[in-house]
Amino acid sequence: MAQAKFAQIKQFILSRIETREWQENDRVPSENQLTDLFACSRMTARRALTELVDSGVLERTQGVGTFVAGLKSQSSLLAIRNIADEIKDRGHGYSVKPLELKLIDASVAEANALGLEVGSPVFYSVLVHCEQGFPLQVEERFVNPKLVPKYLEQDFTIQTPHEYLSAVAPLTEARHTVEAIMAHEQLQQRLAIEATEPCLQILRRTWSRQGVVSFARLVHPGSKFKLTSALVNK
């Protein structure tokens, strides 16, 4: 199946950024230029540019143009930390139970989160992170295989998915949604909690310079987890 035009345009732009032909703050071709170059509609060109802007690869200035974005500092309510390090910093023992590691077809929600077509192959993992032998977090993660082709080959008892992804697809941006939920039966079993215990769920999307790397669902027992943040004026 031929690659969609908007995807061809995105790959064209990304490849030139990766080879450093286009560097930070360089102007990229306009919608009209891309329309002529790829023999497509302006709507198609606009979609490609918009998706790259949304993923943090490009920046758009109204009335001026679209440019290669600079690397963004990690600044948000939640610091992106490795859970193994958090547990070890408390002087406690860390362990992990890998439950699933496989290739699946992306559902509508997963495809939208990763910027892929519905039904595209996606890497899927489920791990239970433990502190002192007790479950602290269920990590369900969907990974873009185009950006991290060797994800399924990793031993996540040696390094966490966060450690591996940070090494092979360095983080440039992350977005979070935090909400309280009641765990379904499978989650209750994995977290070793009662049906009446509320949980805290963090939905996290992470980007590298190439695009969306992963979409993760992190669930913690409410009695064993808290959120902290700090605001520092510089």
- Indicate the SS3 state at residue 199: strand
CATH code 3.40.1410.10 region(s) in the chain: 83-224
Q: How far apart are CA 190 and CA 187, in angstroms?
A: 5
Fold of 83-224: Chorismate lyase (3.40.1410)
CATH code 1.10.10.10 region(s) in the chain: 5-68
**Residue 69 pLDDT:** 78
> Class assignment of domain 5-68?
mainly alpha
Closest Cα partner for 128 from 105, 98, 158? 98
In single-letter form, the type of residue at position 38 comes to F
pLDDT per residue of the chain (234 residues) written in tens, 0 to 9 = 567 888 899 889 888 877 778 887 889 999 999 999 999 999 999 999 998 887 677 888 877 889 987 644 333 345 677 889 888 877 889 999 999 999 999 998 898 889 888 999 999 999 999 998 999 999 999 999 999 999 999 999 999 999 999 999 988 888 888 889 999 999 999 999 999 999 999 999 998 888 899 999 999 998 877 665 544 444
End-to-end CA distance of the chain: 51
Spell 10-22 as b/e; 16+ CB within 10 A means b.
Answer: beebbebbeeeeb
